[in-house]
Amino acid sequence: MLIFGIFDNFNCYLGSTILEVANHINTLISSQSILDFMKI
Mean pLDDT of all residues in 7-30: 82
Give this prediction's pTM. 0.47
Spatial separation of the C-alpha atoms in residues 14 and 7, rounded to whole Å: 10
Question: What gap in Å lies between CA 28 and CA 21, rounded to an integer?
Answer: 10
Burial category of 23 from C-beta neighbours within 10 Å (exposed 0-12, middle 13-18, buried 19 and up): exposed
Which DSSP letter does residue 1 get?
-
Cα separations in angstroms, 5 against 1, 2, 8, 14, 16: 6, 5, 5, 14, 17
% of the chain with per-residue pLDDT over 70: 70
